[in-house]
A = this chain, B = another copy of it.
Amino acid sequence: MTEISALGEFGLIKRLTQDIKTTNNATLYGVGDDCAVLHYPDSEVLVTTDMLMEGVHFDLTYIDMYHLGFKSAQVNISDVFAMNGTPRQLIVSLALSKRFKVEDLEEFYAGLRAACEQWKVDIVGGDTTSSYTGLAVSITCIGEAPRSEIVYRNGAKDTDLICVSGDLGAAYMGLQLLEREKTVYYQQVDEAKKKNDQLALQQLKAFQPDFAGKEYLLQRQLRPEARGDIIKRLREANIKPTAMMDISDGLSSELLHICDQSNCGCRVFEKNIPIDYQTAVMAEEMNMNVTTCAMNGGEDYELLFTVPIGDHAKIEKMEGVKLIGHITKPEFGKQLVARDGSEFEITAQGWNPLQAK
C-alpha cells in the first residue's frame, strides 16, 4: 500500500484523475484549473450537494471504498433526476486521515467513476485534503433541464396521484442486517477473548456474516442506483410530474415536504406501499413493523412524485412505478390509511443525521 505523502497532494490528484476523460458537450474544461468550465446555453443549470461523514453516514466496517464512491455519486445524481433533469458533471472533495492509502482512494474513485459512467456524468474537479479523524466526502452534482421541464416540490395539486418508484424500506433493512452481523461478530470475539480461546480468535478472522437470501437488502444499502430509468420512462410516456423529490430520509418525511411546499394534504394507502419480499422477511425476523420501515427508513433513493389524475391510465401500467395515494386539500391533513381502514397522521420520523448522535 502506498502512503499518500509519497505522492503529495498534486501527485495524488494526478494519479486519481489521469484517466478521466470528459464526454459531455456541456463540459468545456474539467480537472486542472481554479474552476471547471461548463456550457449551458439552452437549458437551466441544476446544482446539488451532499456531505458524507465517516461514522455518521457510513461505516467502513460495512461498506468498502469502491461502494462508498459508487453510492456517493448515485445519491447526488439522484437529486438531479428528482428535478426531472439530466446529470452532467460531478465534483468531489475528500478529506482523509492518515490511515487511508493511495489504493483506498483509487478504489473510491473506481466506484465513483462506475456510477458516473452509468449516467454519462463527467468528473470535472474537486479538492483532496487531510482530516484529523476519518473520512469526509463532499460531492456536488451539476445537471441541466429545459426550464419548462423542471419539476419542483411545490407543484402538487388536489386530486393528483402520488407515485413511488421501486420498493421502500430495503436499504434500511440492509443496514439493520449489517449491524446485526457486526454485533454477532464482536460478541464472538468478546467471548473468545474472555475464554482466551486463541484458536477461535484465529478462526474469527475468516468470519463470514450470514447474508444468505438477503442479497437484495445489501445491494439496496450498499449499491443504490439513481432512478434515471424512471425519468426516461416518464418522458417517453409524455408524463411531467407536478411535484417530485427523491426519497433519502424516508417516505413520511418526503411526503411532508411535498405537502408543505405545495400547500396540500395527502392520503396514502398502506396496502399500496411497495415492499420487497426480503424486506418483509427481515422485518419479521427483527420484530419490526414493515410499514414503519418503509415509511421511515432512509436511503431508498427512489422517486416520489405526483401526476395529474388524467395520467392515471398511463401511470398505472408503467413498470417500476406504484400508485400509493392521492393529494388532498390541505385541511384534510396528511393521512396514512391502514389496511383495516383506520387513519393515522403522517409524522416525520425520518432518518436524521443531526439526531443520529
List A residues at the B interface (Cβ < 8 Å). Answer: 4-5, 8-9, 12, 28-29, 32-42, 44-51, 53-57, 79-80, 82-83, 85, 89, 91, 93-95, 98, 124-134, 136, 138, 140, 142-143, 147, 150, 152-154, 245-246, 261, 352-357
Q: Are B29 and A48 in contact, CB atoms less than 8 angstroms apart?
A: no
Contact among B39, B128, B134, B143 for A35, CB-based, below 8 A: B143
Bound CA–CA A54/B147 (angstroms): 39
Copies in the complex: 2
Interchain Cβ contacts under 8 Å between A and B, 6 examples: A8-B355, A36-B48, A37-B150, A54-B132, A128-B354, A132-B133
Q: Are A47 and B125 in contact, CB atoms less than 8 angstroms apart?
A: yes
In the complex, what residue of chain B is closest to A9 when comparing beta carbons? Answer: B354
Bound CA–CA A51/B136 (angstroms): 9
7 closest Cβ contacts across the A-B interface?
A: A138-B138, A35-B46, A51-B93, A38-B45, A34-B82, A34-B79, A9-B354
Contact among B49, B57, B131, B150 for A91, CB-based, below 8 A: B49
List residues of chain B with CB within 8 A of the CB of A83: 33-35, 37
Bound CA–CA A53/B124 (angstroms): 22
List residues of chain B with CB within 8 A of the CB of A33: 83, 152-154, 245, 261
Q: Are A53 and B130 in contact, CB atoms less than 8 angstroms apart?
A: yes
Q: Are B45 and A126 in contact, CB atoms less than 8 angstroms apart?
A: no
List residues of chain B with CB within 8 A of the CB of A127: 49-51
Question: Which of A9, A82, A89, A354 has most B Cβ within 10 Å?
Answer: A354
Q: Are B353 and A130 in contact, CB atoms less than 8 angstroms apart?
A: yes
**In the complex, given contacts A9-B355, A40-B40, what are 13 additional A-B residue pairs having Cβ atoms less than 8 angstroms apart?**
A28-B44, A33-B83, A33-B152, A47-B124, A49-B125, A51-B95, A54-B132, A56-B129, A56-B131, A57-B129, A130-B354, A130-B357, A132-B134
